[in-house]
Structure 1
Amino acid sequence: MDMTSRAMPAFLPDGSVQVPAFTLPVSDLVSEEAAAMQRLRATLPAFDAAGQEADIALRRAQINAYMAPQIERLRADFAVTVVRRQIGGIGVLDVTPADGGHDPERVLINLHGGAFCVGWDGVAMVEAIPIASLGRIRVVSVDYRMAPQHRHPAAVEDVAAVYRALLAQYDARHIGIYGGSAGGALTAQAAAWLVAHDLPQAGAIGILGAGAVPFGAGDSAYLAGYTDASFPPPPADGSTPIDITQGYFAGCDARDPGAWPGWHLDVLARFPPALILTGTRAMDLSPAIFTHSQLIKAGVRSSLIVGEGMGHCYHYQIGLPEGRDAIDAIIGFFREYLA
């Protein structure tokens, strides 16, 4: 192609880049199932993952209704027992294989996604069911406190309460913590919180669809805002972005090590082995890559999976080969590091 016949990016004196409009095709490296799903998006109404319904109870109900068909399919495909109970005074879903044949010495704590304001218990079910069934392991999903009623560190306090109670049954080296989206960020917060509050570190963690720095940090919030559109890009005029957490981090310093440990190598140095998962079209790509690099710099074993052509928390889509591969990788990671 003649270089003069196409639009070129404009590089501005402040380092910004004006990107010309372009059409992004379906990646030729994804499965046919993933390509078909991408094509299907043209016929479906957009799902606004950052929706700002004023009535938080209604918004939570909307998210659960959206997840309900997927949960029904998961319950049909994966035989699990789900028990609602309290552990350490905190409500949980206790999910195990229906035949009871799970590892008695190991447990995973799941922290659901939902921008620190929604996701219980629809997203929790989607995150817990396939892992418990395929991994033959007990998964305890935590009903942590959320915004707008609560602020950081309420959620991580609840996670720590469940963790402390589980220490009566399990060696810390045999407890794993994982979560997607907000739950991935909360997983990083939990790893920082445990050692800061004289609790033994978990055996391994999974930071999925997230990083240990804020979601809006880096390039990917801009790129995914236009190529995936599940979340809006930062405002072009430099104004304050929409707070998708409904004020959960209000008053919290953006570099607080308890909220965003990814900035602090001394905190990360006390992390256990970590699995970080993201996608090339995910708004969390930059936070995930940065967190992985920081963990390596801090001397921590970190594994990074970046799904080609995949969006935010693509491991939820277990019907796609890429989603199933991600679930298998998560299970394999915890089997290795909780041994």
Structure 2
Amino acid sequence: MVKRRSIRSRFLSWFLRRRFKPKLLRPDFDPARFRKMLDRDMGKNPIASDVDITPLQHEAVNGEWILPAACTSKRVVLYSHGGGYLFGSPLSYRAFTSRLAVACDARVFVLDYRLAPEHPFPAAADDVIAAYRYLLTEHDPADIVLAGDSAGAGLSLSLLVQIRALGLPMPVAAVLLSPYADLAVTGESADSNTRTCAMFSGDAIRRAAATYLNGAHALDARASPLYAEYADFPPMLIYVSDTEVLRDDGLRVAERAAAAEVPVDLRIWRGQPHVWPLFVPMLPEANQALSEIGEYIKEQAR
């Protein structure tokens, strides 16, 4: 159990604040170039041992399956990666998603959804509902858990909105890491935490929102699921850091879920960088969070 913020967490925040954060505010920021850099750098990170990774292309659904060799359950996690709808990929997330699969003893499908600006809203929302329909052809919804980080957590919530609208069976639970759920960017922390957030600023998330929306209405619940009706959504586990710019998105999602009598477990950590669970196995706080997430998924999807 991590009792206080680790030295590694402090160093990581220092590094991100100086090397990552400034890139997103450059006038010449190029999402396509940034994607290649992330795949090159993060794709080198070692994955969990004894897992098989199998690419999938099925009609409109693209992504990859991650299967631990020792998996004994029927559990399936549909994982949507973050990146402000502009960057990120299954490759850049393998170090985390492979360990997630082991931690929750489940098959994990990592969705390779289309990204803006080439594919603005509703491309990602269309891709995630297509992936869920695909999973339903082979898996019981009681075995399916949604998970995602940042924009991917927002996309998981967007999926719940679409599932209910279409009358499809709900998954058993959702795990949301620092959800990016309000593309209108009305949360107070977007500006008040701009200095303390190690990765983003209010201006950076506003620019990402505008690029993804491409003129669409920011209050459309498929893009900004904060504004959805939460009745009948499945139980949720939500992680946020008190110092990140997206803190208030996570807090308000939890409030709306609780108001709709959805079981919600909100975990607020102090001083951590945005989506710190991704930094396994290097960060002690990430290892602890991943262990908690694995136990939660195993409890919800038995």
2:79 paired with 1:110: yes
Q: Which protein, 1 or 2, shows the higher relative CO under an 8 Å CA cutoff with sep ≥ 6?
A: 2
Q: How far has the Cα of 1:174 moved from its partner?
A: 1.0
Distance 2:144 2:156 in 1: 13
Q: CA deviation at 1:116?
A: 0.5
Match of 1:213 among 154, 177, 182: 182
1:131 and 2:100 equivalent?
Answer: yes
* Cross-structure match for 1:80: 51
Residues 1:94 and 2:103 aligned together: no
Rounded to whole Å, the distance in 1 between the matches of 2:253 and 2:49 is 32
**SS of equivalent residue, structure 2 residue 211:** coil
Greater shift in the superposed pair: 47-56 or 327-336: 47-56
Displacement after TM superposition at 1:304 (Å): 0.7
Distance 2:35 2:11 in 1: 29
Q: Deviations over 1:227-262 (max 9, x none)?
A: 134222349xxxxx7512562112222222222232
Per-residue CA distance 1:149-192 (angstroms, 9 max, x = gap): 21222112111112112112211111011111110110110111
**1:126 to partner: Cα distance:** 3.7
In the alignment, is residue 173 of structure 1 matched against residue 142 of structure 2? yes
Distance in 2 between residues matched to 1:228 and 1:261, nearest whole Å: 23
3-state SS, counterpart of residue 170 of structure 2:
coil
Question: Closer, same or farther in 2 for the Cα pair 1:38/1:251, shift >3 Å?
Answer: closer
Q: Distance in 2 between matches of 1:259 and 1:245?
A: 9
Alignment-derived partner of residue 192 in structure 2: 223
How far did residue 39 of structure 1 move? 5.9
Q: Is the contact made by 2:125 and 2:223 (CA closer than 8 Å) also made in structure 1?
A: no
SS in 1 for 2:85: coil
> Which of 235, 239, 249 lines up with 2:213 in the alignment?
249
- Which of 114, 130, 139 pairs up with 1:161? 130
Aligned letter for 2:38? Answer: I
Deviation at 1:324, TM superposition (A): 0.9
Aligned partner of residue 102 in structure 2, secondary structure:
helix
Of 296, 304, 317, the residue aligned with 2:266 is: 304
1:31 matched to 2:2? The reply is no
Q: Normalising by structure 1, report the TM-score.
A: 0.80
Alpha-carbon distance, 1:68 to partner: 3.0
Q: Which amino acid aligns with 1:277?
A: Y
Shift of 1:108: 0.4
Task: Judge which range, 159-168 or 253-262, deviates more.
Answer: 253-262
TM-score by length of 2: 0.89
Which segments of 5 or more consecutive residues in structure 2 lack a partner in the other structure? none
**2:168 maps to what in 1?**
199
- The equivalent position to 1:182 in structure 2, one of 151, 158, 161, is 151
Contact 2:183 2:206 in 1 (8 A): no
Structure 1, gaps ≥5 residues long: 1-27, 236-240
Per-residue Cα deviation, 1:102-124 (whole angstroms, up to 9, x for no partner): 14421000101111011013443
Question: Are residues 160 and 127 of structure 1, via their aligned partners in 2, closer, same or farther at CA, if it must alter by over 3 Å?
Answer: farther
Matching residue of 1:12: none
1:324 and 2:287 correspond = yes
Q: Contact 1:216/1:234 (CA < 8 Å) preserved in 2?
A: no
SS of the residue corresponding to residue 171 of structure 2 reads coil
Deviations 1:274-303 (A, max 9, x none): 111111121111110111011000110011
> Alpha carbons of 1:188 and 1:46: their partners in 2 closer, same or farther (altered >3 Å)?
closer
Q: How far 1:135 moved relative to its partner?
A: 2.0
- Residue matched to 1:286: 248
Note if contact 2:125-2:222 (Cα within 8 Å) is conserved in structure 1: no
Query: Of 44, 50, 58, which aligns to 2:24?
Result: 50
Supply the distance in 2 between the matched residues of 1:57 and 1:211 (Cα, whole angstroms). Answer: 21
> Relative to structure 1, is the Cα distance of residues 182 and 38 closer, same or farther in structure 2, using a 3 angstrom cutoff?
closer
Q: Deviations for 1:30-53, whole angstroms, at most 9, x for unmatched residues?
A: 1343245456679x6454463565
Change (3 A) 1:233 1:92: closer
Mapped to 2, the partners of 1:40 and 1:162 lie a distance apart of 35
Contact 2:104 2:297 in 1 (8 A): no
What is the rounded CA distance, in whole Å, between the counterparts of 1:92 and 1:41 in structure 2?
28
Q: Deviations over 1:5-37 (max 9, x none)?
A: xxxxxxxxxxxxxxxxxxxxxxx9313432454
Supply the RMSD in Å over aligned alpha carbons. Answer: 2.4
Task: Supply the distance in 2 between the matched residues of 1:173 and 1:57 (Cα, whole angstroms).
Answer: 37
| 2:147 and 2:176 in contact (8 A); partners too | yes
